Amino acid sequence: MSTFQDLLPSLQKTLKEKNLTTPTEIQSKIIPLMLEGESVVGISETGSGKTLAYGLPVLHKAKTREQEGDHVTDAGRPIAIIMVPTRELGEQIAKVFKEFTHETRLRVRSALGGTALEQSRKNISNPFEILLGTPGRIVQLLNQDLLDLSDVTMLVFDEADQMMDQGFMADSEKIAEACPDEIQLALFSATESEQVQKMMETLFEKANVIRSSGSGKTVGTLKTKNIRIQDGKRWAALEKLLETREKTILFTNTREQCDHLAKILKENGYEAGLYRGDMDRVVRRKTIQQFREGKLDLLVSTELGSRGLDIENVDRVINYNMPKDIQNYIHRAGRTARAGRDGLVVNLFEDRDERVLEKVRQLGTPEGLQQDFSANKPRKPRTESGAPKKKLSRKENEKRRESARRRPKR
């Protein structure tokens, strides 16, 4: 499939308006199979276009059914379900679908954990075609007899690796059991975790498994830079990196590390947003919006930010603390170099990180020169003449950074 010509004209019109004329690799392989009614498993790197790979066939088949006279008239009886692991991802996907419902006039309703249960009840209180929800919230509504899944013909699991990591296996199976036996299934994941493999061997044993050429890898437009840190001397390296103003996500492993880094940045005159669990959701959403709109250049996050966040034009990811395994690394790296854009991952690593760093090297991404910020070799800032650079006060640093912010980006 080299074009979107097999889709309904209403969908093609929206694609044309968005300047989307050529399917990505995963879309070109998945869409024809789903249009034919086949169950699929799509393993593909982040940023490869998985949402439209299943979204377009779901919308196409739902609209075709309506045009054939089979309308949805009962409240709480969808014909398609899309399951996601988090509210944040669900909200992003809802925005994608909304762009395509202007022409199709299809109704997509949300039932997401992390929102008021009463809001979910209200959302499904009228007839609609497509339900977008988290497994736990969908099960809550099922248990209250507010949903009837007997008409469902398509069931999609998006970001399945994260969904299973969060313990949604039992809820997912219960939802599948509430649907008819003959149902089209679709599962999408960036990695093949042990639990995802288990689902592939059971619920998806008859599905077509499609792996993109970049699955289990980082994208080809991504570059890496590895900086060795000794004795925990990270700030010197990070401060050097922050001399250039770029839209950056800084990853840590724990909430404590996340808060500590945010504090250090603030003390040194840098404005950074915080994104982690155990935060007020309104504050978290506001922070993401500010980062997305460019009002913030820096976002400090735990692993929470590595899954599902789709933010355009993230210039780089900095692993202030290296992740413990390669799968988490791949998800973090997937926040930059999205949709064919260039991106950079900077790894601040210590000797204990060599095991995961070796797996990073095996991914085959172009690697910049390694640098050394050890305690024995402190970096000495110098002027062009070679003389030691005068250390600026915090006020002078803030003034310099404000001046840099006002300069237009090249």
**Does residue 271 share a domain with residue 362?**
yes
Give the rounded distance of the alpha carbon of 242 from its chain centre: 24
Closest CA to 161 of 264, 33, 307, 12: 307
Rounded Cα distance, 79 and 400, in Å: 57
**Does residue 234 share a domain with residue 112?**
no
Least confident of 148-157, 172-181, 231-240: 231-240
In three-state form (DSSP H/G/I as H, E/B as E, the rest C), the secondary structure along 348-382 is: EECHHHHHHHHHHHHCCCCECCCEEECCCCCCCCE
Kindly give, in sequence order, each residue whose CB lies less than 8 Å from that of residue 134, ignoring residues fewer than 6 positions away.
83, 84, 85, 86, 87, 90, 111, 112, 113, 114, 168
Has this prediction a pTM greater than 0.85?
no
Q: Give whole-number Cα distances, 23 to 5, 12, 56, in Å.
A: 10, 12, 11
Give the rounded distance of the alpha carbon of 100 from its chain centre: 20
**Does residue 159 share a domain with residue 55?**
yes
**Does residue 229 share a domain with residue 197?**
no
Owning domain of residue 267: 222-405
pLDDT, mean of residues 170-199:
91
In a domain, 120, yes or no: yes
In a domain, 410, yes or no: no
Give the residue from 211, 245, 266 where a domain finishes. Answer: 211
**Does residue 187 share a domain with residue 118?**
yes
**Does residue 229 share a domain with residue 206?**
no
The β-bridge relationship of strands 272-275 and 130-133 is unpaired
**How high is the pLDDT of residue 373?**
46
Q: Can you give the CATH number for the domain in which 268 is found?
A: 3.40.50.300
In a domain, 151, yes or no: yes
**Does residue 144 share a domain with residue 234?**
no
With bands split at pLDDT 50, 70 and 90, how would you rate the model's confidence at 390? very low
Q: Which of 159-163, 267-271, 386-390, 401-405 has the highest mean pLDDT?
A: 267-271
**How high is the pLDDT of residue 304?**
85
- Please check the confidence at residue 119 and state whether its pLDDT lies above 70: yes
**Does residue 159 share a domain with residue 244?**
no
Least confident of 80-89, 252-261, 367-376: 367-376
CA atoms within 13 A on the CB side of 252: 18
Rounded Cα distance, 146 and 137, in Å: 11
Q: Within a 10 A sphere around the Cβ of 67, how many other Cβ atoms?
A: 12
Residue 197, both tokens: 């493999």
Please count the structural domains in the chain: 2
SS3 260: helix
Least confident of 67-76, 126-135, 295-304, 328-337: 328-337
Give the residue from 172, 189, 211 where a domain finishes. Answer: 211
**Does residue 174 share a domain with residue 299?**
no
**Does residue 260 share a domain with residue 119?**
no
What H or E segment, with its residue span, contains residue 28? helix 25-35
**Does residue 291 share a domain with residue 176?**
no
One-character DSSP codes across 87-108: HHHHHHHHHHHHHHHHHH---E
**How high is the pLDDT of residue 217?**
67
Give the residue from 159, 181, 211 where a domain finishes. Answer: 211
**Does residue 289 share a domain with residue 183?**
no
In a domain, 49, yes or no: yes
Facing residues of 250 across strands? 300, 318
In a domain, 3, yes or no: no
In a domain, 4, yes or no: no
What sign for the dihedral angle of Cα 138, 114, 199, 213? Answer: positive
Rounded Cα distance, 289 and 303, in Å: 19
pLDDT in tens, 339-356: 678 899 999 999 999 999
pLDDT in tens, 273-298: 999 988 887 898 899 999 999 999 99
In a domain, 259, yes or no: yes
